[in-house]
Amino acid sequence: MLIKFGDGEVYKSQGVDPVKKICRRCGNNSRKYFYRYYSRFHGSDVTYCLKCVSIGRSDSVTPLTAVHVERAVESCRYHLDFDLSDGQKKASDRVVQALENNENLLLYAVTGAGKTEISFEAISLARQRGLNVAFVSPRIDVVKEVYLRLTAAFKDARIDLLYSGVKVAFDHRFTVCTVHQLYNHISHFDLIIVDETDAFPLPEDSQLMDAILRAATEKSSIILMTATPSKRMINFAGRENVVTLTRRYHGYDLAVPEIIRGSADRDIQKNRLPETLHMLIQNVIAQNRRVLVFVPEISMMQQLFPLIREKYPLSASVYSQDHERYLKVDSMRGDETKVLLTTTILERGVTFENLDVIVLGAEKFNTNSLIQICGRVGRKVDDPTGSIWFMAAHHTGSIRRTIKIIKSFNKGETAI
């Protein structure tokens, strides 16, 4: 069933119960996420839900309407320009098995393992049987990237794409969307693949996890994919349903970060480019490579950027609210940008060729972020490795854990 505005049968007479303070669409019952105002048009107060307003307003004066979508069989063949590695193939078989048995699965795969392609066989089988499929992620960047890869592989399939403000909708049988969009689907999808399950805000927001469960049919399969699983994810799938993939698709080891002790803060505050940072960047440029410099705070980035720009004109900086964010990321793929300063916004979902990484103030990042950041390096088969430098004022548990996890992946072991 799909919640649709304006047409269809009435699902709930009000989107929001203004007395009990509950949103019937997203399940929000936290008072701080409701807004009330007087409406002249209705001649009464109107309360609406702030939690799910990004997908259309759910309020106390408008009913929620719903439509039922008939299932339909589709041939849904796909084509890949390469063969899956043995590891990918085994993992793909397990995803198919989970689909057959209506089980949930956790795919714990190293960054750059080629997780997306591992789901293709199960997606194809599901659609051939007329089952509804959703590929979702908390991150818009990931959703866009996955959509491109799916449309390239499943050339004849009708794939819906939904994220804030963007709607390419056919028949809701094969949908790529952000997790938030699932608030509009009830008992609808038979196979749900959740990519980057550990990414903000999914782990912090139990309502979003509830939305996934509500969007799934009774006999469904939910496949969680992540490089950094939490205990909760493992419990969700069950330990016997955890599939691990410790090798990247190209078979090379993950790059292990090198730690450089020292703080860059003082230099930056005095408007000086830290000498170590300068040398590292120089070294990267001399080898005709490019570098992502991760910075822990936007304020530090704003101070540092002019200092870098002075020495390296082919540089840019990017953060989540930056309107030119996508343009700047694209310029890093070409030759216009060689040094890109960034917050954790680029810790996942991006791939650049010939890339090295520097993390400033590494002591301020958590393990999940550091693992993702390291995962940016060596993703391409013709550039399978690179350098990662952590500049840190002191060692932290997060830094130690990151290195331990990467080294165990390289030995074919996992930390769980």
46, 49, 76, 362: which one binds Zn ion (CB under 5 A): 49
3, 22, 26, 96: which one binds Zn ion (CB under 5 A): 26
> Do 198 and 228 meet the contact criterion of CB atoms below 8 Å apart?
yes
Show the tokens assigned to 406: 């990467």
> Do 381 and 388 meet the contact criterion of CB atoms below 8 Å apart?
no
By CB under 5 A, residue 58 contacts Zn ion: yes
Q: Specify the residue, 58 or 368, whose C-beta has the smaller distance to Zn ion.
A: 58
Query: Of the listed pieces 17-25, 153-161, 196-204, 232-240, which binds Zn ion according to CB under 5 A?
Result: 17-25
Q: Specify the residue, 211 or 292, whose C-beta has the smaller distance to Zn ion.
A: 211
Q: Specify the residue, 58 or 398, whose C-beta has the smaller distance to Zn ion.
A: 58
Cβ 275 to Zn ion shortest distance, Å: 52
By CB under 5 A, residue 23 contacts Zn ion: yes
By CB under 5 A, residue 51 contacts Zn ion: yes
By CB under 5 A, residue 28 contacts Zn ion: yes
Q: Specify the residue, 53 or 298, whose C-beta has the smaller distance to Zn ion.
A: 53
Cβ 45 to Zn ion shortest distance, Å: 17
> Do 362 and 399 meet the contact criterion of CB atoms below 8 Å apart?
yes
By CB under 5 A, residue 60 contacts Zn ion: no
With CB under 5 A as the rule, give the number of residues binding Zn ion: 8
Cβ 204 to Zn ion shortest distance, Å: 17
> Do 71 and 173 meet the contact criterion of CB atoms below 8 Å apart?
yes
By CB under 5 A, residue 346 contacts Zn ion: no
Q: What are the two backbone dihedrals, phi and then psi, of residue 358, each rounded to the nearest 5 degrees?
A: -120, 135
Cβ 31 to Zn ion shortest distance, Å: 13
What residue type is 193 in one-letter code? I
Q: Specify the residue, 35 or 82, whose C-beta has the smaller distance to Zn ion.
A: 35
Site string for Zn ion, 364-393 (x = CB under 5 A): ------------------------------
Q: Specify the residue, 136 or 403, whose C-beta has the smaller distance to Zn ion.
A: 136
By CB under 5 A, residue 182 contacts Zn ion: no
* Residue tagged 């997060």 (tokens): 398
- Give how far Cα 179 sits from Cα of 193, 207, 209, 272, 410, Å: 10, 10, 8, 43, 32
By CB under 5 A, residue 3 contacts Zn ion: no
Strand 174-178 and strand 160-163: the pairing is: parallel
Query: Of the listed pieces 44-52, 73-81, 137-145, 372-380, which binds Zn ion according to CB under 5 A?
Result: 44-52
> Do 47 and 33 meet the contact criterion of CB atoms below 8 Å apart?
no
The residues binding Zn ion (CB under 5 A) are: 23, 25-26, 28, 49, 51-52, 58
